[in-house]
């Protein structure tokens, strides 16, 4: 195998202030604590998770049956992964002790042959590996690996890593290209990405080989999932092959289809494998799927998955705002995919989408207290319709405490608490900065170090102070967002002209301590339109500023948001406001259609265009919606 690493993630970055710090603290303080209670069934009135109990039962320490979904184990792993990132961030002995205890509970359930999945251990091992399509053994294994690697990297402790390595050895003994093994692949991807991390941390190529096998084998005839269905004599097996992205070999796939989270996870794994194996056809497939995803099937908030049928992608340009699925996990998956595309080839195009998803469709999934969550992230809500229209019953207009299928909250936790891994990548001596957050950047080589000061995304000014102990040659490539039309760049107070390629402005110099870079993005309010192919958004605009997508809420604008119109050439005003955890509020010139009393009893009439009255429209960041009770919301407004 021709192995090349591509751009490396800058794991040495930190985030220690500003916008994201609040989120990280909320996750560490509220989320992780709450979830630990949930995993241990210590939350009154919540449906029982049984997660940790399942491990105890599987290890014989407790009696009982399996509780929850077939993928219940993954909740513990996601929790551990988030815990690992919190510890990496700023240590926490109590949390680490808790995690060590959880790891022991997990390890105790591992079977002599390395197998570890409580669902099958409890319900009968003779049935394991018979339903890769729907029963999530490889998915749970993947999350175990992610947790194991993260925890090892954060604490140096190998306990869970060793458990994971034994489990992977077992998987390798059961699945693979050799005769007598199952020629299968996961019904829900994640292990592909996870194995690539395991390869990264161990250097053992067998992990790369298994990841590549899962990617390559998918969609090969005879279709494994069909064969598996036959073996189980399952007549009405649930799910189309498209749902699993298993309808054709991945290199022949050109459209983002099926379950959106599965798709994003698969494409992420493909990009990892393509990068490390320097596989041009696989890279090309990633680019094709990326383009289809982000140019035809993505919401302005970075949400993906247009339909609740299969929580799935639908078809090009089909982006309904009120019946969207837009699962939080799918937007998270898009962030995973984007970073891996950046590792294939640093280009601001990928970082733009990553940023779009992060600041909008990802964090909209959580309330400002970190206690309530959206699974579905709509762009338009009329609460009465959510209640009464079965087409919209999946669109819950207020965040919920926790879910029976609790995939989104812990996924949010692990992403938010590892966000420094998304800040920058390094390739060939160039440090590509993709996200701007207060903190530090340490290039992988260690030579280049910067402190980053910024109030982004509220303000477009970013200051980088070089922290390098000794002068270091290198290129600092600063992403200029696609939304930015104008910026200034100074080094040590002097304006500089620097070349711009692939959306990065590049500063090449021998950096020395206290070199100061000031990048200031002009950050005006923007009225954004959708491609005219998108029927749902025709004649409408969305208001954005910087990476943030804004929305209208009933709390600020009254009801009947559909009667409002933006005056796109009118004045707008920005204002830091204490509300909603501290936001930049935008007020803009608008109009409201006047409803004349003649309409009281009339449904249809010959009538002139309705009169309008001026009305100031108040926009809040989309992510902060639904924090003030039930009401209408809309991202898109008529213009």
User: Rule CB under 8 A: which residues touch a second copy?
Assistant: 291, 294-296, 298, 300, 307, 309, 314-315, 318, 323, 382, 384-385, 388-391, 483, 485, 526-535, 538-539, 542, 560, 562-563, 568, 593, 595, 599, 601-610, 638-639
Choice between 207 and 565, CB closer to a second copy: 565
CA–CA separation, 360 and 24 (whole Å): 16
Choice between 201 and 563, CB closer to a second copy: 563
614, β-bridge pairs: 591
Pairing of strands 449-454, 439-442: antiparallel
Choice between 213 and 527, CB closer to a second copy: 527
To a second copy, the closest distance from the beta carbon of 309 in angstroms equals 4
Structural contact between residues 353 and 327, judged by C-beta atoms closer than 8 angstroms = no
Q: How many CA atoms lie within 13 A of 578 on its CB side?
A: 0
Of 106, 86, 90, nearest in space to 39 by CA? 106
CA–CA separation, 215 and 285 (whole Å): 12
Q: Which residues contact 220 (CB under 8 A, 6 or more apart)?
A: 183, 249
Structural contact between residues 308 and 376, judged by C-beta atoms closer than 8 angstroms = yes
Of 363, 340, 224, nearest in space to 289 by CA? 340
Would residue 62 show up in a list of annotated catalytic residues for this protein?
A: no
To a second copy, the closest distance from the beta carbon of 345 in angstroms equals 17
To a second copy, the closest distance from the beta carbon of 344 in angstroms equals 19
Would residue 200 show up in a list of annotated catalytic residues for this protein?
A: no
Phi-psi region of 18 (alpha: psi -120 to 50; beta: other; left: phi over 0): left
280-296 vs 328-344: helix crossing angle, rounded to 10: 140
To a second copy, the closest distance from the beta carbon of 64 in angstroms equals 29
Choice between 101 and 389, CB closer to a second copy: 389
CA–CA separation, 456 and 228 (whole Å): 50
Of 269, 306, 319, 318, nearest in space to 289 by CA? 269
Which one is catalytic: 81, 146, 228, 311? 311
Structural contact between residues 437 and 455, judged by C-beta atoms closer than 8 angstroms = no
Choice between 498 and 561, CB closer to a second copy: 561
Which one is catalytic: 286, 329, 407, 484? 407
To a second copy, the closest distance from the beta carbon of 183 in angstroms equals 31
| Number of Cβ atoms within 10 Å of the Cβ of 596 | 11
Of 450, 514, 441, 524, nearest in space to 487 by CA? 524
Choice between 233 and 609, CB closer to a second copy: 609
Choice between 127 and 295, CB closer to a second copy: 295
To a second copy, the closest distance from the beta carbon of 404 in angstroms equals 22
To a second copy, the closest distance from the beta carbon of 638 in angstroms equals 6
Catalytic residues: 311, 407
């Amino acid at each position: 195998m021709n192995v090349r690493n591509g751009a490396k993630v800058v794991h040495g970055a930190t985030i220690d202030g500003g916008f994201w710090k609040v989120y990280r603290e909320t996750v560490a303080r509220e989320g992780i604590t709450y979830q630990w209670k949930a995993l241990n069934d210590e939350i009154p009135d919540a449906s029982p998770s049984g997660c940790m109990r399942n491990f105890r039962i599987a290890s014989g320490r407790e009696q009982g049956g399996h509780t929850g979904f077939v993928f219940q184990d993954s909740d513990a792993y996601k929790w551990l992964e988030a815990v690992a990132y919190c510890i990496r961030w700023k240590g926490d002995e109590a949390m680490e002790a808790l995690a060590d205890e959880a790891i022991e509970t997990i390890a105790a359930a591992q079977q002599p042959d390395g197998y570890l999945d409580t669902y099958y251990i409890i319900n009968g091992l003779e049935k394991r590996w018979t339903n890769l399509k729907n029963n999530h053994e490889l998915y749970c294994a993947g999350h175990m690996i992610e947790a194991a690697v993260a925890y090892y990297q954060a604490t140096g402790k190998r306990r869970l890593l060793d458990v994971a390595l034994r489990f992977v050895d077992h998987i390798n003994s059961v699945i693979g290209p050799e005769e007598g093994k199952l020629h299968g692949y996961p019904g829900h991807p994640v292990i592909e990405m996870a194995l690539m991390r395991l390869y990264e941390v161990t250097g053992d190529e067998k992990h790369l080989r298994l990841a590549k096998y899962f990617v390559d084998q998918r969609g090969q005839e005879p279709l494994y999932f069909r064969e598996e269905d036959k073996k189980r004599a399952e007549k009405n097996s649930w799910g189309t092959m498209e749902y699993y992205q298993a309808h054709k070999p991945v290199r022949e796939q050109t459209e983002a289809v099926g379950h959106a989270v599965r798709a994003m996870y698969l494409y992420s794994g493909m990009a990892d494998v393509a990068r490390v194996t320097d596989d041009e056809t696989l890279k090309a497939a990633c680019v094709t799927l990326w383009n289809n995803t982000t140019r035809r099937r993505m919401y302005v908030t970075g949400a993906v998955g247009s339909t609740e049928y299969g929580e799935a992608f639908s078809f090009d340009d089909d982006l309904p705002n009120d019946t969207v699925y837009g699962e939080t996990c799918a937007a998270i998956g898009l962030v995973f995919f984007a970073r891996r595309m950046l590792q294939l080839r640093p280009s601001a195009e990928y970082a733009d989408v990553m940023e779009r998803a992060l600041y909008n469709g990802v964090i909209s999934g959580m309330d400002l207290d970190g206690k309530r969550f959206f699974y579905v992230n709509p762009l338009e809500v009329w609460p009465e319709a959510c209640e009464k229209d079965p087409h919209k019953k999946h669109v819950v207009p207020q965040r919920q405490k926790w879910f029976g299928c609790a995939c989104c909250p812990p996924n949010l936790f692990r992403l938010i608490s590892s966000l420094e891994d998304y800040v920058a990548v390094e390739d060939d001596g160039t440090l590509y900065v993709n996200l701007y957050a207060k903190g530090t950047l340490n290039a992988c080589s260690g030579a280049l170090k910067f402190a980053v000061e910024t109030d982004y995304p509220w303000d477009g000014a970013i200051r980088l102070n070089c922290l390098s102990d000794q002068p270091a040659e290198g290129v600092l490539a600063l992403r200029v967002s696609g939304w930015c039309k104008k910026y200034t760049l100074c080094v040590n107070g002097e304006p500089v002209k620097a070349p711009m390629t692939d959306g990065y402005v590049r500063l090449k110099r021998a950096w020395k301590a206290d070199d100061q870079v000031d990048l200031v993005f002009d950050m005006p309010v923007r009225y954004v339109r959708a491609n005219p192919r998108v029927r749902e958004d025709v004649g409408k605009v969305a208001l954005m500023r910087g990476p943030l997508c804004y929305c209208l809420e009933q709390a600020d604008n009254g009801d009947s948001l559909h009667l409002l119109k933006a005056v796109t050439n009118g004045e707008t005003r920005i204002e830091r406001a204490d509300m909603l955890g501290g936001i930049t509020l935008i007020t803009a010139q608008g109009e409201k259609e006047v409803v004349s009393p003649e309409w009281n009893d009339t449904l249809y009439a010959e009538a002139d265009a309705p009169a309008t009255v001026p009305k100031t429209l108040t926009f809040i960041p989309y992510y902060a919606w639904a924090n003030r009770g039930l009401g209408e919301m809309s991202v898109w407004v008529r213009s």
